[in-house]
Amino acid sequence: MKPEANSSPWNRRDFPEAAREALAAEPLPTAPFEHSQTRRNVRHATDIIQAKRNAVVAELPEWQALRSAGAAIRAHTLEHLDHYLLEFEANCVRRGGHVHWAADAADARRLVLEILAPHAPREVIKIKTMTSEEIGLNACLEEHGIHPVETDLAELIIQLGHDRPSHFVVPALHKSRGQIRDLFASAMHRPELTDSPEELAAAARSYLRQKFLTTPVAISGANFLLADTGGVCIVESEGNGRMCLTLPDVLVTVVGIEKVLPCFQDLEVFLQTLPRSATGERMNPYNSIWSGTPAGDGPREFHVILLDNGRSPILADAESRQTLRCIRCAACLNACPVYHQTGGHAYESVYAGPIGAILTPQLHAMHDAQSLPYASSLCGACYEVCPVEINIPEVLIHLRSQVVQQQQSTLTGSLGLWNIAMKSAAFLMQDGGRLGAAVRLAQTAQAPLVSRNGFIEWMPGPLSGWTKTRDLPALPAESFRAWWRRTRSAQPATPAASEPRHE
Amino acid sequence: MRISLFIACYNDALFPQTGKAAVRVLERLGHQVEFRPAQTCCGQMHWNTGYLREALPILRHFVRVFADAETVVVPSSSCVAMIRDHYLKAAAMDNDPALAREVEALLPRVFEFTEFLVRKLGIDDLGARFTHKVAYHPSCHSARSLHLDEIPLRLLRRVRGLDLVPLANAQECCGFGGTFALKNADVSSAMLADKVRCVLNSGAEVITAVDNSCLMHIYGSLHRQRTFVRAVHLAEILACSEDESGGESVLAPDQHYALAEHSARVATETAQ
């Protein structure tokens, strides 16, 4: 598939550059006792969610079994995705729904516009959906004179602030209460608002209630599709989603093809693991499952748009297929020490954090976002919390190898510093004598860099990244292997120094 | 038992005192320690940076060097994680069933240093003495890949005079991550800053771990900030004993130790 998905509304810089900006408020990385407001907000929010998540996960002695079951169900579904999607389509249509297939983002946007055209809406209400962000739906609707109204509280904050989500479960987590108060006060013309959570929620409620009662068209994503019933499932915390699903006449659901589950009963696993992983709740306050258009209940017209947009090629790669098991709980973001520092915006991607670092470049067929697989120290915290056991570090390494191969296939890449350094190191590391000689050479060659205190405090080129904030010990005069040879084994060069022990 | 020490490339060049300490501890227990000079590296840096093809000959070399070793002990958990988590995958990637068989035969004989002492030998008291306040940093690979859990702490609790102090957010990565520290130097530094703040707040005089890579990173900042907190590999703490003359010599801050050794060597060479 062509990387048409590049029409993403996100502006993409390399991660290190964007991250530097995110960290910029910090004056001295060696003495960062003052973090920026955004970093404090991100750290505070992720710490709270992590603690809640750990507590409710610890309650379940069968947690590991649930993870394995979730991984097995998702892996099985992906192996037979064509079968389950067709089954879903048949059952959804049988119950009065319409199913559309979108190959890419442009296709999906066109389908939404075609579905909306006969109703000619001026506004549509929206349930929080990352798929919509992925296809750049809001900008497209605005272009065609349709105003999308985000009804999820956090998405509303993002929309009113002309901001971008920084987390896909709690999109406004980078905002503090005070910042939200200021935003509401100006956007809703309510200067009297304080930053009490109750008052802010009430302000959003009165703003949104009018929209629910007067807007006839809603757009949603989905957490799960159920093949055996043609059902669609959304879990949420506020009930605003439920309003969007029940009050309007027309409902359009845009959903990635990987979101299907074989049957209703599979929810017994995911409705336990998803809320605990995502928000640290035992159960979501609102769990909606609907199928088709039953008489006298809910929207009269219901459409599902099944979105591929770069997913099929991921499915074809046995190594990284597990990426598509993701149920978007964002536990990996909350656990990630890189995300803690940078927040979500530095990823310059709809999907941030560890899962974004593997999903985004793959959705772009590895033609874009090549710096994201390197945005990880491979610490493994993401894998540890993933409720469907996606081995994110393993996929990161796999994707790094693809980036390396791309670079090696170009002249500038193969003559680049990194490639030459890695190739040379690999040559040295195939022979103990060679490596020993290289170390001896380095012991002499380092001299100009070594300070009086025995440390290296400045290095050139790409190595300067280390010495900007860290000292490096100088190589001691005698390596371990030299010490061993001197004290433990016979040395042909200086037989007098030899001891009876031999290798 | 005849123990083959895989020292790890960066310990060999940068932290020889850790290898010496491991030799001392194992010999004190009555084992025969050997060092095969053909050894080089486990291939982790290449593998983790995405140079999988380049990592292959390195890991093949490792398997060849240690194929007939009775036991391989490694004072570096991330190398053991590389070997356990990725060697079979590498063999599969290279469509080499012979290599896969050799790896399978070798894996049960490869141990991280503290894991070897506690799980394999069943010893947690090495008779060590180390009269300092110590905080333990559970490196990511030791905790999440090797699941060493309580092992290093059990060893530390049995050290005479050692005051083990808790480290806040201990499980969080120090930000080293191999080439990550260069490729994403700013984020890495920010992660390190959080770790170092926890180390300083712990009140420890010494930060220890089973990986010199993390310790090099943490100490890089501690030294830059001119703090008095030192970084010492756990093997070096265990090597400090009451009954050996000069037993506390490895206690000296590792770099100072290296320096003292360096000057002594220079003096000898000059004399000759």
- Distances B121 to A66, A81, B242 between C-alpha atoms, Å: 35, 49, 22
A440 in the same domain as A291:
no
Evaluate whether residue A380 is within a structural domain. Answer: no
Is A476 in Cβ contact with B16 (below 8 Å)?
Answer: yes
Query: Tens digit of pLDDT for each residue in B39-97?
Result: 999 999 999 999 999 999 999 999 999 999 999 999 999 999 999 999 999 999 999 99
Bridge partners (DSSP) listed for residue A301: A250
- CATH number assigned to the domain comprising residue A191: 3.40.50.10420
Say if residue A64 is in the same domain as residue A209. yes
CB spacing of A378 vs B48 below 8 angstroms: yes
Which stretches of A144-253 are DSSP H helices? 153-160, 177-187, 197-214, 240-246
- Averaged pLDDT for residues B221-230: 95
The rounded mean pLDDT for chain B is 91
Which residues 6+ apart lie within 8 Å of A86 measured at CB?
none
Confidence of residue A148 (pLDDT cuts 50, 70, 90): very high
Give the residue-averaged pLDDT of A421-431: 97
User: Is the Cβ pair A381, B171 closer than 8 Å?
Assistant: yes
Q: Do B14 and A465 touch (CB under 8 A)?
A: no
Q: Is A426 an 8 Å CB contact of chain B? A: yes
Please report the DSSP string for A438-467 in residue order.
HHHHHHHHTGGGB-TTSEE----GGGHHHH
Q: Is B267 on the interface with A (CB under 8 A)?
A: no
How many whole angstroms separate alpha carbon B164 and alpha carbon B184? 33
Q: What's the average model confidence in pLDDT over B100-114?
A: 98
Please tell me whether residues A86 and A227 are part of one structural domain.
yes
Residue B270: its pLDDT value, please?
A: 45
Q: A435 CB near a chain B CB, below 8 Å?
A: yes
Tell me whether residue A422 is in a domain.
Answer: no
Judge whether A419 and A413 are in contact, CB under 8 Å.
yes
Query: Is residue A187 in some structural domain?
Result: yes
- All residues of chain A having their beta carbon less than 8 Å from the beta carbon of residue B193 are 29-32, 469
Residue A463 sits at the chain B interface (C-beta within 8 Å):
yes
ipTM of the complex model: 0.91
Q: Do A115 and A261 lie in a common domain? A: yes
pLDDT of residue A21: 84
The residue of chain A with its CA nearest to that of B213 is A472
The CATH class of B133-263 is alpha beta
Among A200-209, A222-231, B70-79, which is the least confidently predicted range? A200-209
Chain B residue numbers touching A462 (CB-CB < 8 A): 182
Domain end (from A312, A339, A368): A312
A458 touches chain B (CB under 8 A): no
- Read off the pLDDT of residues A67-96 as tens digits, 9 standing for 90 and up: 999 999 999 999 999 999 999 999 999 999
pLDDT of residue B58: 98
- The per-residue pLDDT for range A304-354, each reduced to its tens digit, is 999 999 999 999 999 999 999 999 999 999 999 999 999 999 999 999 999
Closest CA to A254 of A392, A148, A367: A148
User: Which of B86, B137, B186, B211 should we substitute to test contact with A (largest number of A Cβ atoms within 10 Å)?
Assistant: B186
Residue A490 confidence (pLDDT): 65
Best mutation site among B189, B199, B250 for testing chain A: the one with the most A CBs within 10 Å?
A: B189
Number of domains in chain A: 2
Which of A26, A484, A486, A487 is most worth mutating to test chain B (most B CB atoms within 10 A of its CB)? Answer: A484
Residue range A230-256: mean pLDDT, rounded: 96
Q: B192 — contact with chain A (CB < 8 Å)?
A: yes
Whether the full predicted model's pTM is greater than 0.90, yes or no, is yes
Q: Please answer yes or no on whether B182 and A20 come within 8 Å at the CB atom.
A: no
Q: In this structure, which amino acid lies at residue A390? A: I
**Number of Cβ within a 10 Å radius of residue A365:** 16
A3 or B11: which carries more pLDDT confidence? B11
pLDDT value for B260: 44
Identify the domain boundary among A268, A284, A312: A312
DSSP A268-330: HHHHHHHHHHHTS-SS-SEEEEE-S--TTSS-SEEEEEEE-TTHHHHHH-TTTGGGGG-----
Q: For residue range B167-201, list pLDDT tens digits in order.
A: 999 999 999 999 999 999 999 999 999 999 999 99
A72 in a domain, yes or no?
Answer: yes
Predicted confidence at residue A130, as pLDDT, reads 95
In this structure, the answer to whether residues A145 and A289 fall within a common structural domain is: yes
Q: A57 is in which domain, residue-wise?
A: 48-312
Which of A253, A283, A312 corresponds to the end of one domain?
A312
Instruction: Choose among B191, B159, B166, B163: nearest CA to B176.
Output: B191
pLDDT of residue A257: 98
Which chain B residues are within 8 Å of A431, Cβ to Cβ? Answer: 38, 40, 61
**Chain mean pLDDT for chain A:** 92
Q: Quote the pLDDT of residue B268.
A: 53
Question: Between residues 61 and 80 of chain B, which touch chain A (CB distance below 8 Å)?
Answer: 61, 65
| Pick from A26, A374, A432: CB nearest B190 | A26
Minimum Cα–Cα distance from B82: chain A residue: A394
Q: Rounded to a whole number, what is the distance in Å from the CA of A351 to chain B's nearest CA?
A: 19
pLDDT digits (tens, 9 = 90+) for A253-308: 999 999 999 999 999 999 999 999 999 999 999 999 999 999 988 999 999 999 99
Residues 225-264, chain B: which have Cβ within 8 Å of A? 225, 254-256, 258-259, 261-262
Question: What is the pLDDT, as a whole number, of residue A349?
Answer: 93
Over 60: is that where the pLDDT of A363 sits?
yes
pLDDT at B257 over 90: no
Which part of chain B is CATH 3.40.50? 133-263
**Tens of pLDDT, residues A381-396:** 999 999 999 999 999 9
